[in-house]
Structure 1
Amino acid sequence: MTNTNQPRRPRSGRSVYLAATVCAIGALLFGYDTGVISGALLYLKGPLGIEDNAFLQGLVTSGLLVGAMVGALISGSLAARLGRRVMTLIAACVFAVGSLGAAFSPDVLTLVASRFVIGIGVGLASVIVPMYIAEISPTRIRGTLTSLNQLLITTGILLAYVVDYALAPWEAWRWMLGLGVIPAVALFVGMLFMPETPRWLASRNRMDEAREVLERTRAPEEIDEAFEEIEAAERQAREEAGWRDLTSPWIRPALTIGLGLAVLQQFVGINTIIYYAPTTLTQLGMGEAASIAAQVGIGAVMLLFTLVAVRYTDRIGRKRLLLAGSTGMSLSLGVLGILTLIVGASGSTVAVITIVCLATYIASFGATWGPIVWVMLPELFPLRIRGPAEGLATCGNWAANFVVSLAFPVVLAVIGQGLSMLVFAAFGVVSLFFVHHLVPETSGRSLEGLETELHATPKEEAPGQARS
């Protein structure tokens, strides 16, 4: 009996890892297109005539964020109708079109429009990739596989920094932006051969197909239990919920937690590092090439510590990692802020302190808040409303990203680097209390079990009955 079972387990394991990895190329595109602009912006300002126009420089950066908000809002309902796999294919096409448009932009307005299109792809990917991976993964490794989302985001950011650094001697910003078409094509071709998620197939009453996918992605002894859990969840909530249901009392606790996590992930300041680190380090006296090189190092730290989350998120637990990350981020930014106020905001000493503290901050974020938020969002919401709810939470994430990215240069100019870092440190403390008091532990529980525990269905709803 043991001999006959052993060959099947590796096949199912390989199948689910392959599906998760291929879909996570969408996360790599998310990271690449988010990070690449930081280096490209240094070299496109002159050719496009915006060297002295801070507003247009901001538009080039924030155009992606506005597109991401749109993509996140529309992704949930479209994923519910068309399926997770089809939406990933659509996202790949959007990425490719946007990357080519950015590379061949004749003027700044075309570049902003292309960045907006890329942003739609980023918004789609930020919802669909973790949703697809969470729904196709076995419970025992769901956290590990869903962490691939952040691992590939981080890999994409690091890849963007390396490309920026490699092409900096030629100031080849068009190539920096255009190379994103390569992973977009890889994502499209790869997803043609990947299965749809069993949860979505079951929601469309395609139970035979759902079982076939389970047979490809589960160990033999897990198939029947997983299929029964999916069937039970479908019996509990047959009709599909829409945007109006997001106002129902039964979903509010989960929506509050999801939106809170998504917004706080940005308010702790991560994307100010991604977008403005080269500019900030240049102002501290480092050359443009040296600033980009320092950012490559920061990206490498994030990638290294994201691997920690991939390995330990199912062992340590989501909540413990979030608490540890909030503590590390608050301390590192607090130290940076205080030392900058004491020593000053210029000179080689401050540059070294800034790099060390930012590396510590990045390590704390990369191992915790970076991946864990994307792991938890699909876990918090029931299937019948997962698309719209996760889309709204992710839109909140991108809206917070937009606000922080737009406000940071102004805040930095008005109150200086020291106080700016203390503001982000304060949000780190807020995130610590939010997680401690409101966020449940989701590690080691099936999506169906979490759905039953975290939510009362509309039929069960009564005053005071909604769960947190």
Structure 2
Amino acid sequence: MSKNRPNSWLYFFGALGGVLYGYDTGVISGAILFMKEELGLNAFTEGLVVSSILIGAMFGSGFSGKLTDRFGRRKAIMSAALLFCIGGLGTALAPTMEYMVAFRIVLGLAVGCSTTIVPLYLSELAPKESRGALSSLNQLMITIGILISYLINYAFSDTGAWRWMLGLGLVPSIALLIGIFFMPESPRWLLAKGKEEKARAVLNKMRGEKRVEQEITEIKNAEQQDKGGLKELFEPWVRPALIAGLGLAFLQQFIGTNTIIYYAPKTFTNVGFEDSAAILGTVGIGTVNVLMTLVAIRMIDRIGRKPLLLVGNAGMVISLIVLSAANIFFGDTTGAAWTTVICLGIFIVVFAVSWGPIVWVMLPELFPLHVRGIGTGVSTLMLHAGNLIVTLSFPPLLEVMGISYLFLCYAVIGIAAFLFVFFKVTETKGKSLEEIEHDLKEKHGGSLKAESRAAEQ
């Protein structure tokens, strides 16, 4: 490999936090079945154990943006890896429900940090022509983590060894903690902190000398200030990016994908499948999710973010409407059951090539450098809040409404998401982060220009 060619191991370790997010959120679906008796769980505490990771993730997302802007992307990922290690070991050894919830919250803090910082880190390291594909590695790693958790659950299902299910998450945690020591800091963060020579050294290794000066000039021209906070995030010219980021993050959860990821076995048994067939169907969904994310990595920098989001919305809405109609008109029949399986499969396919990876790619792309960390953090907090609401509301809504009308509600939300993307989200394909920031200023910086002219007078 040429010394001027980006090191693929750098991106692998940079995205490894995604595996941990996927594994720790997916593995509990199998482990919870076997820890009930030992930890004395009832319906309420079972839900608390499952959802506590999302509570922690909201707090982790909230403070990690400021953390990464102040101390750097690399140190923040290092902190998340340490939290993954503590949380993974703690849940594997937890003697009571209270300890389990506490360490699941620690895992959630790590999840919140990693889901904020990893996409940001990858986005700032990647060259603009392949930034979509390289940033999509985070989503690919998440889907791989979910699939691995399903396979581990299946492997230990005969023995019910739930502590091993949870404890094996330590393996990628330790790998991330060790690997991140050898990763470079983000050159954009280094420049924002006045460390130009270090930034130039990182870019020399990743881009080659010919492109370094041009990229450094672009970054310095775009740079507004060393740091930004919540006040800067609500500046008039930044506000459209904030609206787009919050909307994409929230709607990614509310179009219903995690009800399929987390509750696939429950959905399959609800339409008549046996438990073993339901578990096998879950593994199948996890496999499709990984394979189609690989397809998305090849498409995202060719077709663009916005067209894929819109096409994905259309496909998800159609699959949910067909699923609902089949169950409304044909009820408890074999045809309705298989229609449900096919429609959920189609939903996962189109989600995995659109909203799954693209939201993670776009969140750090949308924000200017001085508020990129905190903007991505606030958006990711919204994402985890949506995830928590959907996760907690799905079982009671399924019981009250039934699968037909509940998924029809998700279809309506999907239509709203289509309209939001069409009117509020701009294309970022093929543009450097500095070009995206410049376009944002040009389009929405009228008040900024007026203030500048007034100051000059």
TM-score, shorter chain, exceeding 0.5: yes
| Alignment-mate amino acid for residue 215 of structure 1 | N
Structure 1 residues 312-351: aligned runs within 5 Å = 312-344=299-331, 346=332, 348-351=334-337
Q: Which of 146, 153, 158 lines up with 1:169 in the alignment?
A: 158
- Determine if the alignment matches structure 1 residue 427 to structure 2 residue 413: yes
Q: The residue matched to 1:460 in structure 2 has which SS?
A: helix
Name the CA distance, whole Å, in 2 between partners of 1:305 and 1:432.
21
Name the CA distance, whole Å, in 1 between partners of 2:4 and 2:110.
30
1:462 Cα deviation (Å)? 4.4
Q: Which of 82, 86, 103 lines up with 2:71 in the alignment?
A: 82
| Alignment-mate amino acid for residue 297 of structure 1 | G
1:3 paired residue number: none
- Determine if the alignment matches structure 1 residue 249 to structure 2 residue 240: no
Q: Which of 413, 427, 439 lines up with 1:453 in the alignment?
A: 439
2:9 paired residue number: 18
Structure 1 residues 239-318: aligned runs within 5 Å = 239-318=226-305
1:260 Cα deviation (Å)? 0.5
| Alignment-mate amino acid for residue 215 of structure 2 | A
1:437 paired residue number: 423
Name the CA distance, whole Å, in 1 between partners of 2:446 and 2:179.
39
1:115 Cα deviation (Å)? 1.0
Name the CA distance, whole Å, in 2 between partners of 1:432 and 1:364.
14
Bigger drift between 279-288 and 149-158 goes to 279-288
Question: Contact between 1:250 and 1:461, CA under 8 Å: does it hold in 2?
Answer: no
2:56 paired residue number: 67
CA spacing shift, 1:288–1:462, aligned 2, 3 Å: farther
Name the CA distance, whole Å, in 2 between partners of 1:350 and 1:29.
36
Question: Contact between 1:38 and 1:278, CA under 8 Å: does it hold in 2?
Answer: no
Name the CA distance, whole Å, in 1 between partners of 2:449 and 2:24.
43
Question: Contact between 1:80 and 1:387, CA under 8 Å: does it hold in 2?
Answer: yes
Name the CA distance, whole Å, in 2 between partners of 1:190 and 1:109.
32
Deviation per residue, 1:100-129 (Å, 9 max, x gap)? 111111121211111111111111010110
| Alignment-mate amino acid for residue 161 of structure 2 | A
Name the CA distance, whole Å, in 2 between partners of 1:149 and 1:267.
20
Question: Contact between 1:168 and 1:289, CA under 8 Å: does it hold in 2?
Answer: no
Name the CA distance, whole Å, in 2 between partners of 1:459 and 1:350.
56
CA spacing shift, 1:202–1:457, aligned 2, 3 Å: farther
| Alignment-mate amino acid for residue 155 of structure 2 | A
Alpha-carbon RMSD = 1.7
Bigger drift between 277-286 and 256-265 goes to 277-286
CA spacing shift, 1:121–1:174, aligned 2, 3 Å: same
- Determine if the alignment matches structure 1 residue 409 to structure 2 residue 395: yes
2:404 paired residue number: 418
Name the CA distance, whole Å, in 1 between partners of 2:282 and 2:346.
13
Deviation per residue, 1:216-259 (Å, 9 max, x gap)? 1113332221111112123xx12421122223222211100110
1:387 Cα deviation (Å)? 1.1
Name the CA distance, whole Å, in 2 between partners of 1:68 and 1:364.
26
Name the CA distance, whole Å, in 2 between partners of 1:349 and 1:169.
31
1:304 Cα deviation (Å)? 0.8
Deviation per residue, 1:129-179 (Å, 9 max, x gap)? 000000011111111100101010111111111111111111121111111
| Alignment-mate amino acid for residue 103 of structure 1 | A
Question: Contact between 1:337 and 1:422, CA under 8 Å: does it hold in 2?
Answer: yes
Q: The residue matched to 1:12 in structure 2 has which SS?
A: coil
Name the CA distance, whole Å, in 2 between partners of 1:401 and 1:173.
24
| Alignment-mate amino acid for residue 375 of structure 2 | A
| Alignment-mate amino acid for residue 265 of structure 2 | P
Gaps of 5+ in 2: none
Q: The residue matched to 1:169 in structure 2 has which SS?
A: coil
1:370 paired residue number: 356
CA spacing shift, 1:388–1:461, aligned 2, 3 Å: farther
| Alignment-mate amino acid for residue 354 of structure 1 | T
- Determine if the alignment matches structure 1 residue 27 to structure 2 residue 15: no
1:38 paired residue number: 29
Q: The residue matched to 2:37 in structure 1 has which SS?
A: coil
Deviation per residue, 1:290-314 (Å, 9 max, x gap)? 3222101000111111011111100
Q: The residue matched to 2:294 in structure 1 has which SS?
A: helix
2:222 paired residue number: 233
Deviation per residue, 1:369-425 (Å, 9 max, x gap)? 000001001110001011111111110000011111111111111110000110111
Gaps of 5+ in 1: 1-6
CA spacing shift, 1:172–1:458, aligned 2, 3 Å: farther
| Alignment-mate amino acid for residue 391 of structure 2 | S
1:356 paired residue number: 342
- Determine if the alignment matches structure 1 residue 137 to structure 2 residue 126: yes
Name the CA distance, whole Å, in 2 between partners of 1:225 and 1:459.
29
Deviation per residue, 1:198-225 (Å, 9 max, x gap)? 0000011000000000001113332221
Of all paired residues, the percent bearing the same amino acid is 47
